[in-house]
Chain A
Amino acid sequence: MSSANLSIKENGAMVVFGASGDLSKKKTFPALFSLFSEGRLPKDIRIVGYARSKIEHEDFLDRITQNIKIDEEDSQAKEKLEEFKKRCSYYRGSYDKPEDFEGLNSHLCEREGDRSTHNRIFYLALPPDVFVSVATNLKKKCVPEKGIARLVIEKPFGVDLKSAQELQSQLAPLFDEKEIYRIDHYLGKEMVQNLVHLRFCNPVISHLWDKNSISSVQITFKEPIGTEGRGGYFDSSTIVRDIVQNHLVQILTLLTMETPTTFSADDLRDEKVKVLRRTRLGDLKDIVLGQYVKSKDGKKPGYLDDETVPKGSRCPTYSAIPCFIDTERWRGVPFLLKAGKAMDIGKVEIRVQFKAAANGLFKDAYHNELVIRVQPDEAIYFKMNIKQPGLSEAPLLTDLDLTYSRRFKNMKLHEAYEALFLDAFAGDQSRFARIDELECAWSLVDPLLKYMEEEKPVPEPYEYGSDGPECLYSFLKKFGYIYDSPDYYDYPVMSVPSDH
C-alpha cells in the first residue's frame, strides 16, 4: 500500500473550503465535532474554515456550533465542545489568488505548531467551476513537503460527461487518483453501505439475485419539500443531475455488481465500473418528467411560483428513468430510477420485485418483494404471503421485517458525513467515487441531458405533496411492476381482514 492510503492518526489538519456555506454549517462541522468528541479524529487535529466572506473568529465559532446539539446538563460534552472550538479557526481568502493560498499555508503552519510532518485534508464543498482553481493553488502553496495530502471533493463533479472529463483532465496533473476522495454522501448512508453485506453474506439473497427470479427493481428518492428559494440553483442542476446521477446510480451499482475479489477499495470500485459500463437508459420517450404545481389545498406554491425560477422554465422536479444492464445476470430486468421533490413523503428506498410463480398453486398470491429502506427508519423487509391466521386459507400479505430502530435499540446511526470523513482520514476510498465511475455515470445520463436540452420536453404537472405525475402508473406498468398490495397492507402496521 502506498503512503497515499495510510491512515492519518496524528499531525492532522483539515481545511474546509466553502466554510461560510449552509452545508458546512449544517453537516460538515457537526460531523467533525461528533467524530472529535468520540476520539476518532487525529488527536492533534486542527481545522480551518476557508471562504471568501469576511467573518470574525468568534462569529465563525458561533456559526459552526449552532447546529451542534448537546445536552445542557452534559458537562463532558460541553468540555469537548470547548476543546473543539480551540482546534477551529477561520481564514478568509479567494479561490483564485495564489497569495491567499500562501496566507492559508502560513495560517496552517501557525495552527499546526512545531510539526515535522504535516498531513492535510482539503475538503472542497464548492461549486465545480472553482475546483480547478483551488486545487491548482493548493498544489502550489499548501501541499506539505513531508506528509499526506488529500483532496475531498463534494459532488456534483461536472454538469455532464464533457465537463466532468475536462475537470478531471485539469485535476489529474495536480493530484493522484489515490489522493482524491469524491464524496457522494449517499455512500455513507448506513443502508447503502449495507448493500454489499446484504448481497454477499446472505446466500438466500445471492441465489435469487438475477433475471430468473427478479422482474423489476425500483430505486426511489422522494423529498417532501420543493426548492423554495433555491430554484435558481436547481434550475441549472436538474433532478437528473442533482439526484439521479449523483446518488441513485451509485446505489444501482452496489445493487447489481458482480462479486468483488476482495473488499479493497479498488476491487469494489472495479466491479462498480464494470456494471456501469453495461448499463444503458431505456427509450428516452419512456422517461417520465414532472414539475410540481401548487398543492391541492393551495398552501404550497408550484415550482414556477418560485421567484428565483426563470419564467416558463421546463425544468423537471420529478423524473422516472428506466435503465437496463446488458449482462447475462440482468438482461431484460428494468431498473427504474425515480426521484422527485415536493412529494407526499420523504423516503429513499430500493424495491426488488420477484417474479410470480409459474402455474402456481396459489394463483391469488401477492408478489414477493425485498424492500431496503434507506431513510427514514432504516429497514430491510421481505413482503411475503402466509396463510391468513385463523380458519381462512386465503393468502395474506405480510413482512419478514428488520427495522433498525426496533432491533438495535442502543444503536447510534452516524450521519453519512461522519462515516465519510472518518474514511478520508483512514485512507479508505471504498465509499468514494473513482473518476471512471463518474465518467460512466455521466455517460449513462448524458443522452437524457442532451434530450432535455435540445427537445425541451414539457414536464407533466403533479401537485405538491402528491405521489408524482399521473402517468407514473402506466410507466411502472409498462416496465412490469405489479401493484398488487391489498388495501389492508401498510408496512409495517396492518390490520387483518375478517375471516368471512
Chain B
Amino acid sequence: MLSIIVFGASGDLATKMTFPALFALYVRKIIPEDFQIIGYARSKLSQEAANKIVTAHIPIDDTVGASQKALNTFVEHYKYVPGTYDKPESFEMLNSIIAEKETAPASECTRIFYLVLPPHLFAPVSELIKSKAHPNGMVTRLIVEKPIGFDYKSADAILSDLSKHWSAKDTFKVDHFLGEDMIDGFTAIRFANSMFEPIWNREHIESVRVDFREDFGCEGRGGYFEGAGILRDVVQNHLLQLLTLLCIEEPKSQDAEDIIKCKVDFLKSLHPVSKEDIVYGQYTKSANGKVPGYRELDGVADDSEVSTFCALQLRSEAPRWKGIPIIISAGKGLDRDYFEARITFKRREGGMFPTVDSSNVLVLRVYPKEFIALKGHIKQPGFSRQIVPVTLDVKYPEAFPDTWIHKAYEVVIADAINGKHTHFISDDEVRTSWKIFDDVLDTTGDLSPLPYAFGSHHGPDATLEFFKKRNLEWD
C-alpha cells in the first residue's frame, strides 16, 4: 500500500502541479494499484469541494491514456483531511486516517509526505510527522519543495532542523526543473557524446549561459513573489541547478551520489556573486499602458524594491572554466517566453574567412518545444560563396511525435516513489547555492532594481551595458 499525503493540498501549486502529476503517474501505472492519496490543509473543505479542487487542473485531453473514467477512479482514492500544521493532535488524527486503509503489515506499506508548503513550516511539520505519523518498520519519505530558506542562514537552520528527525536517505528536496526532460538529459548530452569532450572547456568555449524569459508578469502571485524576488524564485531555486549540470566534471557513475558530488564540487568552485556582477530590474507598466507595472499589483507594496529581472555573471575557479563568463539571466514581463541553455564556442582566429563572425552556438531549449540545435555556418546554397548562418537541430515534437514527454513533476514524484535521488538536491547543494548569492539578496540601496517597461526586450537598459562590458550580446 502506497500512501501519498500532500500537505498544502488546497494551494495553487498542489492544484496545478502536484495532483495533475499524480494522476499522470496513476494512468501510467507508475503508482501501484493499491494506493491512497490524502490531501491535507488548514482549509475546512467538504470532500466534494476538495475533489473539485483536485480535478480542476487535470487536462484529460493532454494526458496519454487518460479518460473521465480513469479520473473518476483516481478521485475515489483521494481523501481530504483538514488540519493544523502545529498541533500534535491533528497529526495523530491524520495518522489514524492514513492507517485506516493500510491493512497490510507495516513492512509492506510506504508513506510519502509531500510538503507543498512555505519553507518556515518545513521544520514543525516534519517534526510532527516523525513523531505522530511515522510507524516503525514502514518506509516513509519526505518530499519538500524548493525554495528551502530565504538566504544561507535560514536555509542552514531549516536543513539542520530537518536532519534532526529525517535522514538524508528519506528526504527528497524537489527542484522540479531537474525533472524537465531536456534538463534531465543534460548529462547524457554532455557525457554520452565524445565529440563534445575535446571542446567542452575554457580553451574552446567563450561563454556558458542559461536564459529564462517570461512574457507574463506576477498577476495573482504578487503576494508570494513579493517575499521572494526573481533571484530566489528562479535563479537560486532552479537555474543554478541546471547550469551546474552543464559544467560539472564527469561523474564516476550515474548514481545520484556521484552526480551530486560533482555538482557540489562545481558549486564550491564558484565565487560569491558581487554587486558588480549583477543587474536587477523591475517591470513598470507596458508601453501601451495596458499591462500594469509590478507595483500596481495586489499584494505588492507601492514602494516595492523586489526584482522581476536579473542578469548575473558567475566566476568559477575550476580549471575547466576559470576566466570565462558564466551567465544567468531571468526575467518576467519580457517580450518572449522561453527557457534555454546556450554554449557559445570561440571563434577561430585568422584563417581564410577572417572577417566572418564564425562562432558556433549549442542551444539546448528546455521549453517551449524542446530542441537541441547547433548553430553554424555554411556556404549559401546556389552560386554564391557568401557565408550564411544555419542550424542543425533535433526538435523533439518532430523527432519524437509519439513520445509522451513527461512533465517535470511526474519525473520527480516517480523517483521519490522509487527511492531514487537523482532528480533531487542534497543539503550541500542547498547550502552552497545560497552562499553564492548571499551578498546580493538584498535588492535595496545599491542593488535597487532598475525600471523597464513590461514587454521589454532586454529588461533595464543597464543589461546591455552589462553584456557589452563582458564582450557578450543579449541576443
Which residues on B sit within 8 Å (CB–CB) of A291? none
CA gap between A494 and B251 in the complex, in Å: 30
**Residue B268 lies at the interface, judged by CB distance under 8 Å to chain A:** no
* Contact among B376, B379, B393 with A205 in the assembled complex (CB-CB below 8 Å): B376
**Residue A391 lies at the interface, judged by CB distance under 8 Å to chain B:** yes
* B400 engages A496 (CB within 8 Å): yes
Which residues on B sit within 8 Å (CB–CB) of A407? 390-391
* Contact among B382, B385, B396 with A389 in the assembled complex (CB-CB below 8 Å): B396
* B376 engages A390 (CB within 8 Å): no
**Residue B373 lies at the interface, judged by CB distance under 8 Å to chain A:** yes
CA gap between A395 and B189 in the complex, in Å: 9
Which residues on B sit within 8 Å (CB–CB) of A208? 195, 198-199
CA gap between A207 and B345 in the complex, in Å: 10
Most A C-beta atoms less than 10 A away, residue of B250, B353, B374: B374
* B358 engages A402 (CB within 8 Å): no
Chain B nearest CB from A269 CB (Å) reads 13
Count A interface residues, CB 8 Å.
66
**Residue B104 lies at the interface, judged by CB distance under 8 Å to chain A:** no
Which residues on A sit within 8 Å (CB–CB) of B360? 202-205
Residues in B187-207 with C-beta less than 8 Å from chain A: 187-189, 191-195, 197-199, 204
CA gap between A446 and B381 in the complex, in Å: 36
Most B C-beta atoms less than 10 A away, residue of A261, A384, A414: A384
* A357 engages B191 (CB within 8 Å): yes
Q: Which residue of B lies closest to A423 (CB)?
A: B383
Most B C-beta atoms less than 10 A away, residue of A200, A354, A381, A400: A400
Q: Which residue of A lies closest to B179 (CB)?
A: A391
Which residues on A sit within 8 Å (CB–CB) of B352? 196, 200, 259-263, 267
Residues in B383-412 with C-beta less than 8 Å from chain A: 383, 385, 387, 390-394, 396, 399-400, 402-406, 410-411
Which residues on B sit within 8 Å (CB–CB) of A368? 193-195
**Residue B351 lies at the interface, judged by CB distance under 8 Å to chain A:** yes
* B392 engages A380 (CB within 8 Å): yes
Which residues on B sit within 8 Å (CB–CB) of A1? none
**Residue B322 lies at the interface, judged by CB distance under 8 Å to chain A:** no
**Residue A401 lies at the interface, judged by CB distance under 8 Å to chain B:** yes
**Residue A342 lies at the interface, judged by CB distance under 8 Å to chain B:** no
* B403 engages A197 (CB within 8 Å): no
* Contact among A263, A387, A398 with B394 in the assembled complex (CB-CB below 8 Å): A398
* Contact among A201, A213, A367, A391 with B411 in the assembled complex (CB-CB below 8 Å): A391
* A384 engages B193 (CB within 8 Å): yes
CA gap between A389 and B400 in the complex, in Å: 8
A381-B392, A390-B406 given as contacts; is B194 within 8 A of A354 (CB)? Answer: yes
Q: Which of A122-130, A162-170, A358-366 contacts B (4 or more CB under 8 A)?
A: A358-366
* Contact among A370, A389, A395 with B405 in the assembled complex (CB-CB below 8 Å): A389
Q: Which residue of A lies closest to B204 (CB)?
A: A207
Residues in B344-379 with C-beta less than 8 Å from chain A: 345-348, 350-353, 356, 358-360, 362, 372-374, 376-379
Chain B nearest CB from A432 CB (Å) reads 15
Residues in A180-197 with C-beta less than 8 Å from chain B: 190, 193-194, 196-197
**Residue A355 lies at the interface, judged by CB distance under 8 Å to chain B:** yes
* A200 engages B353 (CB within 8 Å): yes
* Contact among A259, A393, A398 with B254 in the assembled complex (CB-CB below 8 Å): A393
* Contact among B192, B390, B399 with A360 in the assembled complex (CB-CB below 8 Å): B192
Which residues on B sit within 8 Å (CB–CB) of A203? 199, 204, 345-348, 358-360
* A384 engages B189 (CB within 8 Å): yes
Which residues on B sit within 8 Å (CB–CB) of A393? 188, 254
A202-B376, A202-B377 given as contacts; is B383 within 8 A of A390 (CB)? Answer: no
Q: Which residue of B lies closest to A214 (CB)?
A: B195
* B251 engages A361 (CB within 8 Å): yes
**Residue B73 lies at the interface, judged by CB distance under 8 Å to chain A:** no
**Residue A23 lies at the interface, judged by CB distance under 8 Å to chain B:** no
**Residue B118 lies at the interface, judged by CB distance under 8 Å to chain A:** no
Which residues on A sit within 8 Å (CB–CB) of B405? 389-390
A390-B403, A414-B383 given as contacts; is B192 within 8 A of A204 (CB)? Answer: no
A204-B345, A263-B352 given as contacts; is B204 within 8 A of A389 (CB)? Answer: no
Chain B nearest CB from A423 CB (Å) reads 9
A393-B254, A413-B382 given as contacts; is B400 within 8 A of A207 (CB)? Answer: no
* A194 engages B191 (CB within 8 Å): no
CA gap between A391 and B179 in the complex, in Å: 9
Which residues on B sit within 8 Å (CB–CB) of A207? 198-199, 204, 345
* A380 engages B394 (CB within 8 Å): no
CA gap between A261 and B379 in the complex, in Å: 18
**Residue B102 lies at the interface, judged by CB distance under 8 Å to chain A:** no
Contact with A along B167-197 (1 / 0, CB 8 A): 0000000000000010011011101111101
* B358 engages A201 (CB within 8 Å): yes
CA gap between A206 and B1 in the complex, in Å: 57
A357-B191, A360-B191 given as contacts; is B393 within 8 A of A400 (CB)? Answer: yes
A203-B345, A259-B351 given as contacts; is B404 within 8 A of A382 (CB)? Answer: no
* A365 engages B378 (CB within 8 Å): no
Which residues on A sit within 8 Å (CB–CB) of B372? 384, 386, 400
**Residue A483 lies at the interface, judged by CB distance under 8 Å to chain B:** no
Which residues on A sit within 8 Å (CB–CB) of B393? 400-402
Residues in A397-430 with C-beta less than 8 Å from chain B: 398-402, 404, 407-408, 411-414, 418-419, 422
Q: Which residue of B lies closest to A412 (CB)?
A: B382
**Residue A171 lies at the interface, judged by CB distance under 8 Å to chain B:** no
**18 A-B residue pairs with CB within 8 Å:** A193-B379, A198-B377, A203-B345, A205-B376, A213-B195, A262-B352, A267-B352, A360-B250, A361-B192, A361-B251, A385-B192, A387-B181, A389-B181, A391-B406, A395-B192, A400-B374, A407-B390, A494-B399
Q: Can you name 10 extra interface pairs (CB under 8 A) apart from A365-B188, A385-B189, A402-B393?
A: A196-B352, A200-B353, A361-B187, A384-B394, A385-B188, A387-B185, A387-B189, A389-B396, A393-B188, A398-B394
B residues adjacent to A (C-beta < 8 A): 30, 181, 184-185, 187-189, 191-195, 197-199, 204, 250-254, 345-348, 350-353, 356, 358-360, 362, 372-374, 376-379, 381-383, 385, 387, 390-394, 396, 399-400, 402-406, 410-411, 414
